[in-house]
């Protein structure tokens, strides 16, 4: 029987081509769902498909609505790996009776909440930084003015107040 029969028959299946932008080994290597999947690991298409920078693209099957530059989790070399989608086919683009069984994408990594958290944190840090600088300036001025008294203090206050209209 064809190793990819489910992928070939499912109307909701398509192939996607991914690359591995990070070395993220170690995740899930002992997960029972990955046992015996060495033959179902990512397939480099005999080196025929490469990304613009020469890195190989690996083919997976999915039923998820994925788009280019989505991050996905995939099984590869007995581990769960983070991959980036670089091409999405409209259908399953593998040959019937292929020598290998193609692995399925495990899931989409939704980075929108993470990006929103980073933006929120950046705004908090900018607001605190601005307030901190204003407080530091005010505190410095207060300390200097408090230490200068008498005629020198009066003259300093007049100088920093600026000319009167």
SS (H, E, C) 107-153: EEECCHHHHHHHHHHHHHHHHHHHHHHHHHHHHHHHHHHHHCCHHHH
Helix orientation angle between 112-147 and 150-161, rounded to the nearest 10 degrees: 140
Overall pTM surpassing 0.85 (yes/no): no
Q: Give 20-38 pLDDT, tens digit per residue.
A: 887 544 333 344 444 443 3
Residue whose token pair is 């099957």: 61
Please indicate whether residue 150 or residue 38 has the higher confidence score (pLDDT): 150
The domain segmentation of the chain, as residue ranges, is 5-109, 115-161
Q: Give 33-69 pLDDT, tens digit per residue.
A: 444 433 334 444 444 477 777 778 899 999 999 999 9
When pLDDT is averaged across residues 125-151 and rounded to a whole number, the result is 87
């Amino acid at each position: 029987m064809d190793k990819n029969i489910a992928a070939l028959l499912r109307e909701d299946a398509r192939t996607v081509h991914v690359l591995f932008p990070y070395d993220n080994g170690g995740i899930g290597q002992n997960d029972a769902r990955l046992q015996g999947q060495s033959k179902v690991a990512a397939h480099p298409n005999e080196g025929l498909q490469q990304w613009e920078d020469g890195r190989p693209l690996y083919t997976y099957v999915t039923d998820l609505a994925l788009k280019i530059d989505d991050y996905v989790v995939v099984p590869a070399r007995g581990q769960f790996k983070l991959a980036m989608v670089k091409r999405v086919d409209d259908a399953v683009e593998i040959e019937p009776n292929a020598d290998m069984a193609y692995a399925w994408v495990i899931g989409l990594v939704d980075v929108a909440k993470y990006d929103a958290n980073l933006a929120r944190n950046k705004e908090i840090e900018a607001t605190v930084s601005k307030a901190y600088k204003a407080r530091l300036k005010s505190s410095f001025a207060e300390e200097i003015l408090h230490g200068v008294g008498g005629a020198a203090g009066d003259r300093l206050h007049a100088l920093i107040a600026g000319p009167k209209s």
